[in-house]
Structure 1
C-alpha cells in the first residue's frame, strides 16, 4: 500500500530538491557565460557546440540510464547522477582549455540522463495513481523554478569571481548527493530489483527504441519530442525575435521570460492536479496543444510589450502543463517494472527535441523571423492530430492488471 504524499513529505522534498538544485546549477552559470567566453577567448560557435554536446550526451545515455534505474535501483542512480553533476561543474570551473570544457559538458549531460529518470521513477514508485499527477506537477515546477532562480543567484555569486558560480553549483550538487545517501531509501525490494534486472538484461538500446514504438507509449513520446522541440526553438529564438521585431532591450526580454516562467510554475503547483482531475491527461494535453498553436501564430502579429508579455505567459503555461501531463500519462501506462525504461526514453525524446529544435529554429529565423513560430504552430497541430489516435482503452486495461 503506497502512502499518501502528505506522509512522505521528507522524501518528496529531497527528490524535488535534487532536481531543483541541479537545474539551479545549470541556470546560475548563464549570466557568466559571456564573460567566461571572453576570458577563455571562445568563439560563438564553440559556445553553441558546448550547449549541443550536453544534449547529445544526455540523448545517447538516457536509454542506458533508464535500464540502470530498473536494474540497480532508483537511489543508487540518483546519487551517482548528482555526484557526476558536481564533478562536471567543478571541472568546468577549473578548466583552462576547450577540451576540458567539452569533457565537463559531456559529464553534465550524462549526469542529467541519470538524475531525471531516477527521480521520475522513484516518485512513480511511491505515489498512487490518483496522486501521481500532483507529484509530477511538483517535479515540473521544481525544474522550472531552478531555471528561474538560477540566473539571479548566478549573477550574485559571480560578484566574487567569474568561476565562482561553477564551484557553487558543484558544492550544492555534492551536498544534495550526501543528503540523499542518508535520507532516501530504495523504494523497491531486492526481489523486485532482481526480477526487473533479469528482464532488463534481455534488452538493449535498439530494443528500447523498438519498445518505445509500442502504440501505448509512442504517441506520448512523439508529443514529448514536439514539446521539447517547440519549447527549445521558442526560447532560442525569442530573444532574437524580440530584438529584431520589437527592439526590446535585454532587460525587457529577461523580464518577460521571468514573469512568464513564474506564472507557469504557480499555475503548475495550484492548478495542474485539479485540471487533470477534471479533464484527464489526454484532454489537457490536447487543450494545451491547441492553445500553443494559436498563440504561436498570434506571436507574429502582436506588437506592444504588454501583449507580448500576456501571450508569452500563456505559451509558457501551455508548455508547463503539457510536460507533467505527459510524464503522468507515461508513468500510468507503464507497469512497475517499466518505470525506469519509460523515464529513460522520455529523457531521450526530450533531448532529441532539444538538439533539433534550436537548429531548425535558427535556420528558419535566417529565412524569415516569423517562420519559427509558424512552423512551431504546424508542429503542434500535427501533435494534436496524433493524440486523436491515442488508445485510451489500452491504458485502462494496463491499469487494471
Structure 2
C-alpha cells in the first residue's frame, strides 16, 4: 500500500527541489548570455549551436538513462545527474574557449537526461494512481518555477560578475546531490529492479525508439513531440516577434513572461489534479491542444500590451497543463517500466526542442506571423492524432 502524498512530504520536497534546481540553473544563465557572448567574442550562430547541442545530447542519452533508471535504481541515477549538472555549470563558468563550452553543454544535456526520468519514475513509484496527476502537476510547477526565478536571480548575481551565475548554479546542484544521498531511499528493492531489468533487452538507442512505436505508447509520445515542437517554435520567436511588431522593451517582455509563468504555476499546483479528475487525461489533453491552436492564431492579430499579456497567459497555461497531463498518461501506461517511458518522454521532448526552434526561426525570416500559424497547425495535427486514441486502448493502458 503506497503512502498518501501528505505522508511523504520530505521525499517529495527533495525530489521536486532536484527538478527545480536543474531548471533554475538553466534559467540563471539566460540574462548573462549576451554579455558572455561579447566577452568570449562568440557569433550568434555559435550561441545557437550551444543551445542545440544541449538538446541533442539529452535526446541521444535519454533512452539509455531511462533503461538505467530501471536497471540501477532511481536514486543512483538522480544523484549522478545532479553531480554531472554541477560539473557542467562549473566548466562553463571557467571556460575560456568554445570547445570547452561545447563540452559543458553536452554534459548538461546528459545530466538533464538522467535527472528528469529518475525523478519522474521515483514519484510514479511512490504515488498511487489516484494521486499521480497531482504529483505530476507538482513536477511541472517545479520546472516552471525554476524558469521564473532563474533569470531574476541570474541577473542579480551577474552584477557581481558575469561568470558568477554559473558558479552559483554549480554550488546548488552539488548541494542537492549531497542532500539526496542522505534523504532519498531507493523506492524499489533489488529484486524488483532485477525483475524489471530482466524483462528488458540490452539498451539500444534504435531498439528503444522502435519500442516507443508500440501503439501502447506511440500516440502519447507523438503528442509529447508535438507539444515540444509547437511550444519551442512559439517561444523561440516570441521576443523577436514582440520586438519587431510592438517594439516591446526587455522589461515589457520580462513582465509578460513572469506574469504568465506565475499564473500557470498557481493553476498547476491548486487546480490541475481536480481538472484531470473531472475531465480525464484524454479530454484534458484535447482541450489544451484546441486552446493552444486558437491562441497561436490570436497571437497574430492582438495589437496592444494587455492583449499580448492575456493571450500569452492563456497559451502558456494551456501548454503548462498539457505537459503534466501527458506525463500522467504515460506513467499510467508504463506499468513497471517507468524508467523506459520517462526516458522516451524526455527523448521525444528533446527532438521537438531541436526541430521546433529551427523551423520557427526559418519561418520568422519569411514572415513574422508564420511561426505562430505553423505552431497552430502542428497543435491541430496533434489534436487529430488524439482522436485515434480508443477508449479500450486507454483502459488497457491504465489497467497495466
Task: Report the TM range for the smaller structure's normalisation.
Answer: over 0.9
Give the equivalent residue in structure 2 for 1:261.
261
Give the equivalent residue in structure 2 for 1:75.
75
| 1:215 aligns to 2:215 (yes or no) | yes
Cα distance, 1:214 vs structure 2: 1.1
Partner of 2:323: helix, strand, or coil? helix
Give the equivalent residue in structure 2 for 1:136.
136
Give the equivalent residue in structure 2 for 1:148.
148
Deviates more, 1:131-140 or 1:159-168: 159-168
Deviations 1:294-324 (A, max 9, x none): 1011111110110110000000000000000
Give the equivalent residue in structure 1 for 2:39.
39
Give the equivalent residue in structure 1 for 2:103.
103
Q: Distance in 1 between matches of 2:241 and 2:355?
A: 19
Cα distance, 1:230 vs structure 2: 1.1
Give the equivalent residue in structure 2 for 1:383.
382
Cα distance, 1:203 vs structure 2: 4.7
Cα distance, 1:204 vs structure 2: 2.1
Q: Distance in 1 between matches of 2:392 and 2:74?
A: 30
Structure 1 residue ranges (4+ consecutive) displaced by more than 6 angstroms after TM superposition = none
Give yes or no for contact 1:90–1:167 (8 Å, CA) kept in 2: yes
Cα distance, 1:395 vs structure 2: 2.9
Partner of 1:188: helix, strand, or coil? coil
Partner of 1:185: helix, strand, or coil? coil
Give yes or no for contact 1:144–1:261 (8 Å, CA) kept in 2: yes
Residue correspondence of structure 1 range 203-242 to structure 2 within 5 A: 203-242=203-242
Structure 1: runs of 5+ lacking an equivalent: none
Q: Distance in 2 between matches of 1:154 and 1:398?
A: 43
Give the equivalent residue in structure 2 for 1:188.
188
Cα distance, 1:398 vs structure 2: 3.7
Give the equivalent residue in structure 2 for 1:296.
296
Give yes or no for contact 2:60–2:205 (8 Å, CA) kept in 1: no
Q: Distance in 1 between matches of 2:313 and 2:138?
A: 19
Deviates more, 1:168-177 or 1:206-215: 206-215
Give yes or no for contact 1:136–1:324 (8 Å, CA) kept in 2: yes
Partner of 1:215: helix, strand, or coil? coil
Give yes or no for contact 2:129–2:332 (8 Å, CA) kept in 1: yes
Give the equivalent residue in structure 2 for 1:321.
321
Give yes or no for contact 1:70–1:340 (8 Å, CA) kept in 2: yes
Give yes or no for contact 2:216–2:397 (8 Å, CA) kept in 1: no
Give the equivalent residue in structure 2 for 1:365.
364
The TM-score with structure 2 as length reference comes to: 0.99
| 1:394 aligns to 2:387 (yes or no) | no
Cα distance, 1:221 vs structure 2: 0.6
Give the equivalent residue in structure 1 for 2:373.
374
